[in-house]
Amino acid sequence: MADPNFGRILSDAEVVYYLLKGEKIVVTPLLDSAQVKSTIDLRLGTDFVVKKMDRFTHLDPITLHRVQKKDPEAVLQIYDVIKRPDPRSSFILHPKHFALGCTLEYVYLSPEIGGILEGRSSWAREGLNVHSTAGFIHPGHRGIIVFELSNSGSHPIPLHPGMRVAQLLLYELANSTELPYGPDVAAKYTKYVATNFGRPWEDWEFACLAESARSEDEKHYS
């Protein structure tokens, strides 16, 4: 039977204890203790990825799945561009625009600790979203956390590297996960230290879907 003390959201003292121990949770660099409450405030890093919008009409994962088998990097360079503004300046996120960003912090969670990423209320009130429906950080995660930044407000927001834009709520599982996110499972986004591109077309289901689409095409043209 599972221990009733486990399987719950961590309190501030527990977060501090685990951070001090540095075994179950590592968040580095942490500069100010004000970052740690019952959640840990996360700061914005220096790399941003934006989509090239001037050349392509749409993003078709099945076509991209076929292309990436030949040259994985070509796909990324077709659609995405990395912006690395001077860390002393800012990246302007305009209303209704979307960009990927990353945390300044490196985060490690052990197999029994998971995280939920959420925005900070101050920035949420200005319309800044830090994730779009993908806020779970799996147990076993290591590396930076990627933000899916979008501005749903009415004014452009200058994003300065180092500003606190998000918070990480931590929970402890009732039992340690058998397959933590990382070396033992096919984890696409582990051990990164800079903003990484999204690669949905690498998912296994697209191998089947691409095959089925090809046979449909053959039927159609035969």
Partner 1 sequence: MDEVRNLFQNWFGQLVERIVRLDQYLSERKASAPTRVKLRRNIVSELLSSLHQLAEELHEKATFFLSDKSPESRRSLYYAFVLEATGRYRRLHALINYIPAPWPSPHLELFLTKVLEEGGLEGSVHGQEPMLCNTLLSADYNFSHILVPIAGASAVVGQLPLQNLLTVPSAEKDNPLMWPNLLHELAHVIGQEVIDAAQECLTHVKAPQIRSILGRWTHEIVADLIAADYLGPAYFGSFVTFCTYWVPQSPRLPTTSHPAPDKRVEYLFHYLNQQSPDFITALKSLYADYQTRLQMDHEDFKSRNSVFDAYRDTRAADKPFPLEELRGFVSEIVALPEFKKIRPRTMNVNDALEVQALARYLKEGQLIASRRDNAILRDYKSVEDVRKDYRNALSSLQEKPNDVRLILNAALIRRLSDATVDRRGKNSGAPLTFHAKLLDDYCKSKEIVASKRLMELRQTVNNLDSVISKSMEATTVMAFYQSYQQRQARAGE
Binding site for partner 1 (CB under 8 A): 12-14, 16-17, 19-22, 26, 28-33, 36, 43, 45-46, 55, 70-74, 77-78, 84-88, 104-106, 108, 142-144, 161-162, 183-184, 191-194
Three-class DSSP category at 98: strand
Closest approach of Cβ 158 to partner 1, in Å? 15
Q: Smaller CB distance to partner 1: residue 108 or 201?
A: 108
Per DSSP, 162 falls in state T
Closer of 10 and 128 to partner 1 (Cβ): 10
Helices 61-70 and 72-79, axial angle in degrees (round to 10):
130
Partners of 157 in the β-ladder: 93
Contacts of 177 (CB under 8 A, 6+ apart): 111, 112, 139, 140
* Least CB distance to partner 1 at residue 191 (A): 4
Catalytic residue, chosen from 112, 148, 211, 218, is 148
CB 157 within 8 A of CB 126: yes
Q: Is 205 a catalytic residue?
A: no
* Cβ 22 to partner 1 shortest distance, Å: 5
- Give the catalytic positions in this structure: 148
